[in-house]
Amino acid sequence: MKLPQRRLAGRGEVARTALLVGVPLLVLVVVWACWPRPYYTGTNSIRTRGFVQQVKGGETLCVRDLHLPAETALVEIQLIPGSPRPEMRLDLRTPVGALLARSTLAGERATTPYRRDAPPDKVSFAIAQRPDRPASVPVSACITPRRVIMLGGTLGGLGSGGVEPTLDGKPAGDARVAVWFRPPAGSERSIASQLPTIFERATLFRPPWVGPWTYWLLLGLVLPLAFALGLFLLIRAQALSPRKLAAGVFAVAAAIAVSWSLVTPPFQAPDEQDHFAYTQQLAENGKAASQSGSLSPWSSSLLLGLESTHALSANEQVDGRPPWLVRDEHAWKLRGGAGASRKDGGGPTTAATHGPVYYGVMTVPYRLAGGASIWSQLELMRIFSGLLSALTVLLVFLAAREVAPRRALFAVGAALLVALNPMFTFIGASVNNDVGVNTAAALFLFLFARAARRGLTVGLAIALGATLGILPVIKGTSYALYVVAAVALLALALSRRSRQVVAGIAATVAGVVLVQILWGSIAAGFGRTTFTTPGGGAPITGASLWDTAGLSLGYLWQIFFPVLPTMFDHYPTHDWPAYTIYVVRGWGSFGWYAIDFPAIVYQAIVAGTVATLGCAAVFARRRFAWLKANWVIVVTLLAMPVLVIAAVERAFSTPGQRVLIAEMGRYAFPAIVALAILAAGAWAGLGERWGARITTAAVVSLMALTYASQLLTLGGFYT
């Protein structure tokens, strides 16, 4: 009778904690979503990546092919920060040249000197507010300054979209000048109040079966049901069978990933267009993307899609917006988007150095889409990629079960930590070969945990070797996991010291070598060498490691800790680079790392991380005997994030100062399985009751963060 009572008590702890934490967070998310904030009535889907167009005093620059939205009362442009602002005139003209509106802006003196990192300096021209009908009218915005100005925007080029401006009636070149439209000054609306409009805009450039109803269904039913299932799994963790728990965590992760696949606008995930292009080339022509040559990087079909969505001219900045008007989708159709060639790409892209494994898998959903539009192809590929990320979550659960077989709540909690990391599932539901790396890395850790618990049998060793062998063929950065594997196998050999372990290690190495030999025999057919590094050479040599050791160690230190007096300061303008890389970009920076939460959200994540480290210290003191008995898997779990992050920073360490932080938090995701197990283990070590409380509180907090992340992303792209 005692065991059922303990189970009942555990269920009660989970349920009570979920209510105590969940209700206030739900209220907070609702208040945040209902809080009024400034918004755009429209844009020309050009972001400011630089100041690209000079206009001299008396010259007139016209930004063409604009559509002035209903209810617009302000027209904004962006000037170089800190520069003197001269008197300027804005004329809005119809396509036949008739004057629709005129606004004059008085000049002002510069308040601050120009700095490269200065905040945007937008100027607003007031016009008579447009009526609410029609939805938009075609105009050109013509700007005439009294003195020279520099306008913000982006350079045109392959895939950028938009129309070049004119200067005194003549083509001005490749510049694309950014223009924004706003309601009257002081007008604000909440994300919640704009949801019907957001959902209408979000349906553009999607498969034909996607409508506004899809987003009401996702946010109103699918995500809440996924969260409810996650809580049910925590509450019933000790009562449900491992198979049901495994199926449950996979379902939670899959539902969240599918939602992300539809929330993120087409090609508004990092480098997604290049990963799509690689898959398309493999599916259509049976060849990998070329690393050199004169072929176009993108097919006509993809190029037209990029231009129509302005994917490469509206990305990377918080005020970039994809097209919002139905006419934009119609324009894609009129340009022959559905029938454009899919076979004439395959040239060099950022993805072209990688092996074909992930892209070969992605050809399955690509081919399932058949002759459907590029939007249907992309969505099916995203869903398939999201299922791979859900498989990673399943492997977290299985690995945690091997670490602590009798701690079902610990295993469920660890899996849900990964499933509910917004950045992990956002990337997971895009087309990106990092997803393949993360899944294979999770499989490696699961297989090793199983070997550490049950013995390194020949079958396990071959599977482990095959996984390690395939990892760098997915992406060359996976070579970092070879160091993790070496540490893990050495620890296993020292702990067991048996012929079986020696034979298992030999079989593992043989598996790695065999896969690499097989890959090497076919690599040339894909235009690759055995080593899938950018240059095709060995990932590291003894000489290069030794020569750059000092630089790499100093660089790595400064990512996390204050610079020491004897060190060269690589980041003089950044106090704590790790915060940007592994907190902001590792938890919630959406689109092309442009849409972020307020700083307080990331500060809360830092506080939770510090608290978890404190829990780990308590665990180490209280459960030292368990750590000693299981030191092999503990060392492996610790080595995985340390060595993966060290490898990332070594790859980015360069002499001199860094103005911009180039590293991305997703580069540490191959270690996310180990990090989740370590975190959940630290909480579980505080005892059954407190472990259940903290795990539940963390999971519920991440549910709120996930829901807010999708609202934030929709609002960031469509308001």
Task: Report residue 183: phi and psi, to 5°.
Answer: -75, -175
State the first-to-last Cα distance of the chain, in angstroms, to the nearest integer.
57
Q: Which two tokens stand for residue 31?
A: 């208040």
Alpha carbon distance 441, 436 (integer Å): 9
Query: Helix (H, G, I), strand (E, B), or coil: what is residue 40?
Result: coil
**What type of residue is 619?**
F
Lowest mean pLDDT among 99-113, 196-210, 460-474: 99-113
Q: What is the pLDDT of residues 418-446, one digit of tens each?
A: 999 999 999 999 999 999 999 999 999 99
Which pLDDT belongs to residue 200? 96
Alpha carbon distance 33, 386 (integer Å): 26
* HEC profile of 501-535: HHHHHHHHHHHHHHHHHHHHHHHHHHCCCCCCCCC
Which pLDDT belongs to residue 2? 37
Per-residue pLDDT band for 5 (boundaries 50, 70, 90) equals very low
Alpha carbon distance 253, 392 (integer Å): 9
H-run or E-run covering 479: none
pLDDT at residue 303 tops 90: yes
DSSP 70-139: TT--EEEEEE-TT--B--EEEEEE-TT--EEEEEEE--B--SS---TTPPPEEEEEE-PPPPSSSSEEEE
Which pLDDT belongs to residue 117? 47
Q: What is the pLDDT of residues 640-662, one digit of tens each?
A: 999 999 988 888 888 888 888 88
Q: What is the mean pLDDT of residues 85-112?
A: 86
Domains of the chain (ranges, CATH numbers):
42-182 (2.60.120)
Which pLDDT belongs to residue 1? 30
In this prediction the pTM is 0.93
pLDDT at residue 116 tops 70: no
Q: What is the pLDDT of residues 7-61, one digit of tens each?
A: 444 678 888 999 999 999 999 999 999 999 999 999 999 998 888 899 999 999 9
Q: What is the pLDDT of residues 600-640, one digit of tens each?
A: 999 999 999 999 999 999 998 888 888 898 999 999 999 99
Query: Helix (H, G, I), strand (E, B), or coil: what is residue 47?
Result: coil
Q: What is the mean pLDDT of residues 376-391?
A: 97
Per-residue pLDDT band for 120 (boundaries 50, 70, 90) equals low
pLDDT at residue 118 tops 50: no
Alpha carbon distance 171, 61 (integer Å): 10
* HEC profile of 625-677: HHHHHCHHHHHHHHHHHHHHHHHHHHHHCCCCCCCCCCCCHHHHHHHHHHHHH
pLDDT at residue 3 tops 50: no
Which pLDDT belongs to residue 110? 58
| Of 249, 258, 153, nearest in space to 676 by CA | 249
Which pLDDT belongs to residue 6? 42
Q: For the chain, what is the mean pLDDT?
A: 90
Which pLDDT belongs to residue 566? 84
The percentage of residues in the chain with a pLDDT greater than 70, rounded to a whole number, is 94
The percentage of residues in the chain with a pLDDT greater than 90, rounded to a whole number, is 66
pLDDT at residue 560 tops 70: yes
Q: What is the mean pLDDT of residues 674-697?
A: 92
- The residue behind tokens 């809580």 is 231
Per-residue pLDDT band for 553 (boundaries 50, 70, 90) equals confident
Per-residue pLDDT band for 539 (boundaries 50, 70, 90) equals low
Contact assessment for residue 46 and residue 154, using Cβ atoms and an 8 Å cutoff = yes
Which pLDDT belongs to residue 56? 93
Which pLDDT belongs to residue 198? 97
Q: Which two tokens stand for residue 653?
A: 């360490």
Contact assessment for residue 673 and residue 437, using Cβ atoms and an 8 Å cutoff = no
Sign of torsion over alpha carbons 610, 611, 615, 621: positive
pLDDT at residue 713 tops 60: yes
Q: How far is CA 229 from the centre of its chain?
A: 25
DSSP state of 572: T
Per-residue pLDDT band for 478 (boundaries 50, 70, 90) equals confident
Q: What is the mean pLDDT of residues 250-254?
A: 98
Question: Helices marked H in 369-457 — which ranges?
Answer: 374-403, 408-419, 422-428, 434-454
Which pLDDT belongs to residue 538? 59
pLDDT at residue 119 tops 60: no
